[in-house]
Amino acid sequence: MRGMHPSPGIIQQRVNGATSIAAACAAVLVFAAVALRVSAQPRYLETATPSPMAALVQARRNVESFFEQSTNVVCTESITQIVLGKNNKPIYREESANYYQLRAHTENGSLKLDESRDPRKAGFHDPWRTLMVTNGFASMLLIVHPTYETSYTFEPAGDEMIDGVNLAKFHYQSVPGGTSPAALRLRGKSYPIPLSGILWIDPASGTIAKLTAAVDSSLQDLGLEGMRSEIHYAAVQFHNPEETYWMPVSAVIDVETPRQHWRNVHRFTEYKRFLATMQIELGRKP
């Protein structure tokens, strides 16, 4: 696989086959392979009605575990790049597929993310079309990571039933001056993107079932009129040994400028887990 070193949540605009603008937006945010491991519930969650804030605390732990274990998982990433016209109707699209892996490691006390993509299916490309290239969006979960705990505020927003499960909703908002996992990179300069959105968390396990993120109007002077992403997660079962991970299954990223409107759809399937083994033999001379 070819290693990539993206800034968290990268969106790039491709013109005539070349990269013209690179914008880091948490939408892709995400969903690069996001694997939240379902772990045993702590004692404070073993109650009949766990509090919403207890669910958020457990979600932080799950996200931290995900970044520790992400190197053990690969998947197939199918991407549809869409150009939208009037009334948000698609006027052009391209499709491709990759083998995808997210690697996380700590460097000088900071969490670093590397992506690896190996083309599986290269679709037709019109060199005269301007398309948006989205990657790095798995970093969107950094919003919930303990590292960014002081950069966002979270407020309970009631409950919502999704697929038969009652989920706790949280509105989150970036704190002025706080650190953002997303940035707009334009003409060689990076501009932190203030993100806000909603989390849907299963209060019984602390797993994140859905996440949305959006950018307010503060970046209009840089040419970004709107950015919205929506990521869905679901349980994936592995065998030998039996384990359940909570992983992204889809991500939709919508970006609009005064002249263009793009929508990229990422789907994640065929998850595979790799287990590292070590064999030590004693009593043998080299």
What Rg value do the Cα atoms of the chain yield, rounded? 20
Give the span between the Cα atoms of 244 and 60, in whole angstroms: 18
CATH class (in words) of the domain with range 2-272: mainly beta
Calpha distance 178→257 (Å, rounded) = 25
Q: Tell me, what's the pLDDT at 223?
A: 77
Residue of 269, 236, 265 lying closest to 251 (CA atoms): 265
Instruction: Give the Cα separation of 138 and 144 in Å (integer).
Output: 12
pLDDT at 120: 87
pLDDT on residue 18 = 35
* Distance set, CA 245 to CA 21, 91, 153, 163, 249 (Å): 35, 37, 27, 18, 12
- Helix, strand or coil for residue 183? strand
Regions of the chain short of the pLDDT cut 50: 1-8, 10-11, 13-48, 278
pLDDT value at position 218? Answer: 63
pTM, rounded to two decimals:
0.78
- Other residues' Cβ atoms within 10 Å of the Cβ of residue 213: 28
Q: What is the pLDDT of residue 49?
A: 52
Q: Residue 153: phi, psi to the nearest 5?
A: -105, 145
Distance separating alpha carbons of residues 235 and 247, to the nearest angstrom: 6
The CB density around residue 139, as the number of other CB atoms within 10 Å, is 30
Q: Return the SS3 of 45.
A: helix
